[in-house]
Homo-oligomer: A and B are copies of this chain.
Amino acid sequence: MAVTLQEIAERAGVSRGTVDRALNNRGRIRPEVADRIRQIAEEMGYRPNRAGKALAMARRSICIGVVLQEVETMFMRGILEGIEAAREELGHLGASVVLKEIKGLNTKAVIDAMEELRSQNVHAIAMNPSMNRRTKETIDRFADEYGIPIVTFNTDLEDCSRLCYIGQNTYECGRAAAGLMGEIIGGRGEVGVITGYEANPSLNKRVEGFRDEIAARFPEIKLVGVQYAYNSDAIAEDITRELVERHPEISGLFLTVNVEQGVCAALEKEGIIGRVKIISNDLNENNRKLLCDGNIAFVLEQNARVQGYEPIMVLFHLVFDGEKPQCEFQYTDLTIRTRYNLPPV
């Protein structure tokens, strides 16, 4: 049986309450006594019992808020799954999770949601933020003035008081894609990149990583253009057709966004599907099928579930155990998917 507060109290010749005050730095205790108790606890190998703690704290029931902007719908389901899993797990311990879902990108709606959560007395907030000054200011206000810790996920907002960021290292993702591309096209030939919006920093970093790594490791590979498809399959199809016409010998395409449908349609019509190697990002039903059929070589996955789950857990541990996250950037593992290691549906 594990060591309990009571046992420490007996050993120290004080009461449970005193031990509690000593170990949790609650004040109202003579420093010498506190030190002695802490030492005894250490000696006895005391580790607080989470169940007891959770039960006792059930009165001031912990509540974590989540603000979710629906940017990429395919990806969101995974995030929601992760949030649900966290809610389930915390529910067991008497804590709750409040989710505010916002359709589309909308800074005002995000800030309103945050204020609403605050008025509901949440202890912490996990959010995927919009990229602008007002959001940044709001985060700072919450963290610094109201003492509501914030964790960002999926997209980060640097230089503000958010506790940490949980999500993909998009630059490394681009590099990984370049490495794989280099391998499968034999280290030479022409490759193209099709991405989303110019203004999206995450996508830009993927492109940058890809470009840098190709330049560094595969001097014989030529990057023949980075095109913007604005997340539209129709545009992607046009781009691909033009690209293939200009570069009939093209060997590979790196897609930073989910426009596989359009790209593959174009290649199909040109009769070169399968010959042009495709590496894409973020698994969904769509590219999953293309992967199985051999039309796409690799899909790089950023574990969506983890991005929904972890921020909530990090915040819970902070509020519940007082444990700060280990590092400011908690990058999710980059998963390389082929037709052979698809996750069960």
Contacts and interface: CB of A to CB of B under 8 A. Distances in A.
A172 B49 CA distance: 42
A224 interface: no
Interface in A149-207: 172, 175-176, 179-180, 183-184, 186
Interface in A56-107: 58, 61, 91-94
A94 B340 contact: no
B61 A1 contact: yes
A290 to B, nearest CB: 15
Kindly name the residue among A51, A55, A61 whose own CB sees the greatest number of chain B CB atoms within 10 A: A51
Contacts of A91: 2, 47
A175 B340 contact: yes
B47 A176 contact: no
Interface stretch (A126-134, A256-264, A281-289, A331-339): A331-339
Nearest to A92: B50
A229 interface: no
A61 B175 CA distance: 49
A335 B338 CA distance: 10
Nearest to A294: B217
Interface in A325-345: 333-336, 338-341, 343
Nearest to A89: B50
A17 interface: no
A51 B340 contact: no
Nearest to A277: B183
A50 B335 contact: no
A179 B51 contact: no
A183 B297 contact: yes
Interface residues of A, number: 34
Given A336-B336, A340-B334, A49 B94 contact: yes
Interface in A30-70: 47, 49-55, 58, 61
A34 B45 CA distance: 44
A256 to B, nearest CB: 16
Interface string A208-251: 00000000000000000000000000000000000000000000
A180 B94 contact: no
A179 B92 contact: no
Contact of A51 (B55, B175, B186): B55
A338 B54 contact: no
Contact of A184 (B2, B183, B334, B335): B183
Contacts of A58: 1, 49, 51
A54 B343 CA distance: 33
Q: Which 10 residue pairs spanning A and B have beta carbons closest together?
A: A176-B340, A50-B92, A51-B54, A334-B341, A336-B336, A51-B51, A51-B55, A183-B184, A179-B340, A51-B93
Given A172-B341, A336-B336, 6 more contacts: A49-B58, A51-B52, A51-B94, A176-B341, A184-B184, A335-B336
13 contacts: A1-B61, A47-B92, A50-B93, A51-B52, A51-B53, A51-B54, A176-B340, A179-B339, A179-B340, A184-B184, A186-B186, A334-B340, A335-B336
